[in-house]
Structure 1
Amino acid sequence: MAITITTGTIDDVTAVSEYIPELLTAIGSDTLRNRLENKKALILVAHKEDTLVGFKIGYELSNTQFYSWLGGVHFNYRRLGIAKKLLVQQEKWAYEQGFTNIHVKSMNRFPQMLTMLITNGYHVCGYVDKQSTELSKIKFVKQLTK
């Protein structure tokens, strides 16, 4: 029962997003297209056998900076290392494309994500105050190296 990571499509993301409760609502394809338009971007998807179980999307901020925008794993397939596999593959791709660092934002209400970022070499580099510790965003950065 291996997990495979491949490049995916906007349709893949919208299909699996309804099984990721943290997203609150399924992600519309127009939202995705608008965000990724005219940017170097990567959509990764994870499959367990023939089942689509997760995704990770990122795009360029500049020639050297890549932004890991959105991702998630189907609620029935968590704790299998899928999010980390997606993270590692995204970092590898970004490095190969010439990006020198990767940025991501998360929130206190996602402690597993915060832990994964910190244990994988991401450093806190800022905070976006939304008047609530639950809604405020914590900014992270990681220098990409071999």
Structure 2
Amino acid sequence: MDYLSLKGIPSKRIVKEICGLYRDVFNEDRQLNERMDDKPNVDVQLAYENGTLIGFKIGYEQSPTTFYSWLGGVRSTSQGKGVALQLMRNQHAKAKEAGYKIVETKTMNRWRKMLLLNIRFGFNVTAVEESQTGDGKIILQKAL
């Protein structure tokens, strides 16, 4: 497994790889390049196996003290190997190095694996907000 850390918006080739993996993991398309353009201080963590992207974690500055862990996913054939945990560790280490004090993320009950990983990794549920689809978004925070 090879891990790569990128500061700022990645190249078009890498964004295309991430979008493909996102589509495989979540069964939906997302135009991440357009969505990343307006995010400050983007941080991208990638996991490769034999030259193939198998996992990603994207975050950005929410405030001068808070880093927002935005999107992430791991290819189904690579789940259970600790990839998501290592991507999270890498992301939090970079956020701490950059001076952030808190990491925040949001998830939903339907993404139970991610919810449980966040809780196991020290996040606390701080609130639940209504989403556009009617599902509750669970807001979690962790001190760095």
TM-score where L is the length of structure 1: 0.85
Q: Would the aligned equivalents of 2:36 and 2:42 in 1 still touch at CA under 8 Å?
A: no
> Gaps (5+ residues) in structure 2?
none
Q: Would the aligned equivalents of 2:19 and 2:31 in 1 still touch at CA under 8 Å?
A: yes
Q: Secondary structure at the match of 1:142?
A: strand
Amino acid at match of 2:54: V
Amino acid at match of 1:140: L
| Inter-partner Cα distance in structure 1 for 2:71 and 2:16 | 15
Amino acid at match of 1:138: I
User: What is the CA-CA distance between 1:16 and the residue it aligns to?
Assistant: 1.9
User: 2:86 — aligned with what?
Assistant: 85
User: What is the CA-CA distance between 1:132 and the residue it aligns to?
Assistant: 7.2
| Inter-partner Cα distance in structure 2 for 1:31 and 1:138 | 25
> Gaps (5+ residues) in structure 1?
none
User: 1:34 — aligned with what?
Assistant: 37
**Misfit runs of 4+, over 6 Å:** none
Aligned pair partner of 2:24 in 3, 19, 25: 19
Q: Secondary structure at the match of 1:109?
A: helix
Q: Secondary structure at the match of 2:77?
A: helix
| Inter-partner Cα distance in structure 2 for 1:61 and 1:89 | 18
Shifted more, 64-73 versus 11-20: the winner is 11-20
Q: Would the aligned equivalents of 1:12 and 1:45 in 2 still touch at CA under 8 Å?
A: no
Percent same amino acid among aligned pairs? 30
TM-score where L is the length of structure 2: 0.86
User: 1:98 — aligned with what?
Assistant: 99
User: 1:142 — aligned with what?
Assistant: 142
User: What is the CA-CA distance between 1:13 and the residue it aligns to?
Assistant: 1.5
User: What is the CA-CA distance between 1:29 and the residue it aligns to?
Assistant: 3.9
Number of residue-to-residue matches in the alignment: 137
RMSD: 1.8
